Amino acid sequence: MEEYLRRNFDVEPKRPSEEALKRWRSAVSVIKNPTRRFRMVADLAKRAEDKRKRKNLQEKIRVAIYVQKAALQFIDGISNRRDCNLPKEVKDAGFGIDPEEIASFARSHDTKGLERHGGVPGLAGVVSVSLEDGVVSSKIPIRHDIYGFNRYAEKPAKGFGMFLWEALQDLTLIILMVAAAVSIGVGITTEGMPKGIYDGLGIILSILLVVLVTAISDYKQSLKFKELDKEEKNIIVQVTRDGRRQKVSIYDLVVGDIVHLSIGDQVPADGIFISGHSLQVDESSLSGESEPADINQERPFLLAGTKVQDGSGKMLVTSVGMRTEWGRLMVALSEGGNNETPLQVKLNGVATIIGKIGLTFAVLTFIVLTSRFLINKAVHRHMTDWSSKDALKLLNYFSTAVIIIVVAVPEGLPLAVTLSLAFAMKKLMFDKALVRHLSACETMGSATCICTDKTGTLTTNHMVVNKIWICNETETITSNDNNDVLKSASEGVHDLLLQSIFLNTSAEVVKGEDGKNSIMGTPTETAVIEFGMLLGGDFKSYSEDYNILMVEPFNSVRKKMSVLVALPDGGKKRAYCKGASEIILKKCDNIVATHGEAVPLSDEQRTNISDVINGFACEALRTLCLAFKNVYDSSSEDSIPDDKYTLIAVVGIKDPVRPGVREAVKTCLDAGITVRMITGDHINTAKAIAKECGILTEDGLAIEGQDFQNKSSQEMAEIIPKLQVMARSLPLDKHTLVKQLRNELREVVAVTGDGANDAPALHEADIGLAMGIAGTEVAKESADVIVMDDNFTSIVNVARWGRAVYVNIQKFVQFQLTVNIVALMLSFISACVSGAAPLTAVQMLWVNLIMDTLGALALATEPPNEGLMKRPPVGRNIKFITGIMWRNIIGQSIYQIAVLLALKFCGIRLLKLTGSDANSVLNTVIFNSFVFCQVFNEINSRDMEKINVFSGMFSSYTFMMVMISTVVFQIIIVEFLGKFAQTVPLSWELWLTSVLIGAVSLLVAVVLKFIPVSVRKQEVSRDHEDVYEPLLRGPDLA
C-alpha cells in the first residue's frame, strides 16, 4: 500500500508540481460524490484560465500605462464638458470632481488631467481634504456614498442549501433513494399500507439524516475558512486623519485619505504621490514589469496592489475598490483554490484502495446472495414462478450491495483532514497565529528546525535606551524624568546629539485622541526618539527648523539610515548617519570632543570604542552609532556621503527577553526541534540573548553572516548541525542557510521574517512565518503563517497543533479502517453462510454516519496534549499507517468479527432466546453490539499507544457531544424506530450484554498495546527520511 501511495499520491507540501497534482487526480477512482470529495482541492482548469486572464489583463494595463497619449489628448479635449456636467450629488456633497475622472488619473497615468486640476494641492482641494490634516472622520460616510468603499466585489458565499445539494450528489445515496422508492411501491403492492412503506421510508429518512449531518459539518467548515480568509485580507494601513497619524483597516480607506507608505507595504488603493524619499514600487503584480518604478513628482501615480520596494512616502488616495485596476483584476480572476495538502492527497489514495476493495466485496456479496436465491428456487422447482416478493428480495440484495459500497468507500477520509485543519486553524487564530495555507499547519507538525529572528520574536520589542557612550564617557539611563542625563556633555554636543536623533529618523511624534504625544515608528526608532525627548528635545521644532533634502531609509542590507539636511543658517548642509555600530564606526574618521569640536579618531580610540560596543553587546544591548558630516560640496546634493563621518555617540538599547520564551525553547528541544537564532545584531548581543533563551549551549556555534557566506558548501554542511546563532546576518545569509538545511540536510525548516528582504527565505522554507506586528505586507504575502503577536511561543503552538492534526487523522484512519474491515467481512461471511446480511440498509447507513462524519468530528478535532511535544518530529516520507496502527486495526477487527459472527450463528442458543421474535431480537442485539463496539473503539482510538485512553476525554467538548449523541440516538433507533430500522425493543439484560460486548474492546486494546511492534529505522537519504534524531542539547546546558 505504502509503495502505491508513494508512487501515485505523493505531493510536496509547498509548490507541488503540476505533474504531481495531475497524477494523483488521475489515480483516484471509486468516488461516491466528486463534488464533495474535491471541494477543498485546487481546480487546475480554473487556475490555468486565471493565469491566461492575468497575463491578458497585465498586457492591457501595460498598454494603458505606457501607450495612451492619444487617449489622454482626447480626454483633455472633452475636459471642460466633464467639469460642466459634474453630477448633482457630487456638487451637493461639496466635491469638485466625479469618481470616474479622479479614478482615471492614476489608472491612465494622466499627468495632463492632474495638472489641469492644479497638481496634488489642487486635487486635494476638489476632494475637500487638507494635505496636512487629512480627512475629517465625520465626513467619511459622505465619501463612501460618492466615491465608494475600498472593497472588491466578491462571489456570494455558498449558503446552507448548496451544501445540502452537494451532499445529495452522492451516487450511492441516489441509487439507494431510487431503490427505496421502488421498495415502497412494491411493498405497498404486496403488503399494503402502512406496513409496505416502512423499509423504503426508513432508508429515505436515514439518507436524509446522513445528508443533513454532512451538510451541517461542511457548512460549519466553510464558515471557519471564510472567517480566516477575511482576517488574512484585513491589512492595517497608516493614514493622517483629523490632524493626526493613525492606523486603520484597508477596508476603511476612502478617497482623500493621506496614506503613509514604507518599505514592504502594499499600496492599498490608487493614488497620487505627495512627498517622500527614494520611493520605489514593484508593479509586477499588475503590469508584469519586473523592474521597480521610481515614484516622484514627475511620475506620481501609485496603483493598488503594488508593493513598496524601497524608500518611504505619502500618497493621496484617488480611487478605491472596484474603480482601481487591482479591484478589476481580482474580480476577473476566478477562485482556483488552494493546493491540497499532502495528507489530503495521501488519504484520497487510501480511500481509493479501500473503495476498490469495498466495491469488489459488494459485487461478490450481491453475486453470492443472488446465486443462493436462484439455487434455492431451482432446488424447489420454482424458477418459472416469480412474484413481487421475489422482486423485493432481489431489490433488498441490491440495496445491501450498495450499502456495502456506502460503508466501504471512506469518502470522509480526505475531508477529515480539512475538518481537522479548519478546527486547528480556528483555534490557532485565537492563539494569535493566522494560517494562510492549509498545508503549513500540517507541515509544521513535521518541523525539525525553527530559524527564528531575535527582535520582537524572542524579545518583547519594547525598547528603551539603557546606556550611552559620548565624549569618552559611559552614562547609564536609569530614570524616565531625568533631563540632566548627559552632565558631561556641552550644549553644542547636546544639540548635535538631538539633531542626529530627531532629523535622522523614520518615526513621527503624533498627538493621540487623548491629546498626549505618541511615537509612530519601529521599536528601535521609538526608543531613540523617546531618549531624545527625555533629553528635553522637541521633535516638532527640529522638523520645522531643518529642511530634509534626501533620505536613505534603513534596510537589512545597508544596516544604516542616512539623511542630508539643509541647516537653518543658510547654504550649509549636513549628513547624519546611524546604524549598526561597527559599520558606522568604520565610516568615521573623527569623533566629537567634549566641547563639540571634531577631532581625529586615533587607532587607540577606535579600539576603545570597539571595546565599549562589545561591552554593551555582552550586556544584551542592541548597539547603534550616531554620526554626522558637514557637506561643503554643492555637487553632492544628489547623494549622501558614505565616509569620513564624525562619531557622536554609541547608544545601547535594552530589549528584554519575552516571558515564557525559555520554556518554549525547551519545549521545542524536547520535541526534537532545533532552534536557531538569526539576527542582524552584534554577535555579542546575539550570544547573550541566545544564552538567556536557552538556544546557545556550550557545544553550540555562533557565527557572523559574512563568515558563513564565505564558507564552501562542504564547510557549511559540517558546521550547520552545530550552528545555533547567526549574527549580523543579511537576508541572503538566511536564504542560504534555509536552502542548505532543506536540500543538503533534508530538514523540515520553519523560518521567521518581517522585512521585505526576508520574502525569498520565507518562500524557500517549508513553513514561512511572518510577523503580524513588525512584518511588512511583502513578508506576509510570502509567508504560510502570520504570527499575529510576533511571539515565539505562538510559533511553538503552531507546531503543537500541526502535530495534533497529523495524530488526529491517524486516530480517525485507525477507527474508520477497523469499522470498514468488520462491516465488509461480517456482511460477506453472513451472505455466504446464511444468505442474508446481518444488518439492514437503515442500520448500515447509521453505522456509516457514526464512522464517517461523526467519527471525524470526534477524533479529528481533539485538542493537542503535552505528550505530542515529547516525541521526535515525523519524517518527510514516513509511513502514514504505521505498524502500531495495523496492530490495533487487525486486533480489534478480529475481536469484533469473532464476537459478532458468534452471535449471528449461535446467538439464540448463547442468549437463550425463545419465542417467535427470537430472530428479530438477535438481529437487534447484533446491531446494538456492533454500534457499541464502534463507540468504545472510538474511545480506544484516542491514543494508539498509551493504555489510559480516558485522559483529557471529558474536557474534549466535541468528542463527548458525539459520544452522547451516538448513544442517545442508538437508544431511540432500537426502542422507538423499530418499524423503520427493523429492530425490536430490548430488555435491560440484553442492553447490558450489548454494552459489555462493546466495552470488552477496551480490554482488547490494553492486551494489544502490550504486543511489541518493531519500528524499522531506515538510513536517511536525500529522497526519503523516516526518522529524525534530535540533538542532545537544551536550555539547561546554557
Q: Would you please indicate which residues are annotated as catalytic (active-site) residues?
A: 453
User: Sign (positive/negative) of CA torsion 983, 984, 988, 989?
Assistant: negative
User: Sign (positive/negative) of CA torsion 234, 237, 240, 244?
Assistant: positive
Instruction: Please count the other Cβ atoms lying within 10 Å of the Cβ belonging to residue 1031.
Output: 18
DSSP states of 124-154: HHHTT-BTTTBB-GGGHHHHHHHH--S----
Give yes or no for a contact between 429 and 228, defined as CB atoms under 8 angstroms apart. Answer: yes
What is the C-alpha to C-alpha distance for residues 693 and 664, in angstroms, rounded to an integer?
9
Helix (H, G, I), strand (E, B) or coil at 482: coil
What is the C-alpha to C-alpha distance for residues 445 and 800, in angstroms, rounded to an integer?
7
Give yes or no for a contact between 457 and 259, defined as CB atoms under 8 angstroms apart. Answer: no
Where are the alpha helices (H) located in 452-571, listed in sequence order?
491-502, 523-534, 539-545
Assigned C-alpha cell, 856:
471525524
191-200 own/partner pairs: CB under 8 Å, 24+ apart: 198/979, 198/980, 198/982, 199/396, 199/840, 199/841, 199/982
Buried b (16+ CB within 10 A) or exposed e, 615-637: bbbeebbbbbbbbbbebeeeeee
**Comparing C-alpha atoms, which of 108, 49, 61 is closest to residue 285?**
61
Give yes or no for a contact between 863 and 804, defined as CB atoms under 8 angstroms apart. Answer: yes
Give yes or no for a contact between 446 and 878, defined as CB atoms under 8 angstroms apart. Answer: no
Assigned C-alpha cell, 154:
466578491
Q: What are phi and psi of 935, to 5 degrees?
A: -60, -50
What is the C-alpha to C-alpha distance for residues 1011 and 204, in angstroms, rounded to an integer?
44
Instruction: Please count the other Cβ atoms lying within 10 Å of the Cβ belonging to residue 907.
Output: 21
What is the C-alpha to C-alpha distance for residues 923 and 306, in angstroms, rounded to an integer?
68
What is the C-alpha to C-alpha distance for residues 1031 and 674, in angstroms, rounded to an integer?
7
Residue 18: Cβ-neighbour burial (10 angstroms; 0-12, 13-18, 19+): exposed
Buried b (16+ CB within 10 A) or exposed e, 877-886: bbebbbebbe
Element (H, E) at 573: strand 573-580
Helix (H, G, I), strand (E, B) or coil at 344: helix
What is the C-alpha to C-alpha distance for residues 341 and 439, in angstroms, rounded to an integer?
5
Q: Which residues, listed in sequence order, are joined to residue 787 by a DSSP beta bridge?
A: 433, 771
Give yes or no for a contact between 913 and 922, defined as CB atoms under 8 angstroms apart. Answer: yes
Give yes or no for a contact between 676 and 695, defined as CB atoms under 8 angstroms apart. Answer: yes
User: Sign (positive/negative) of CA torsion 908, 913, 914, 915?
Assistant: negative
Q: Which residues contact 131 (CB under 8 A, 6 or more apart)?
A: 120, 121, 124, 258, 274, 316
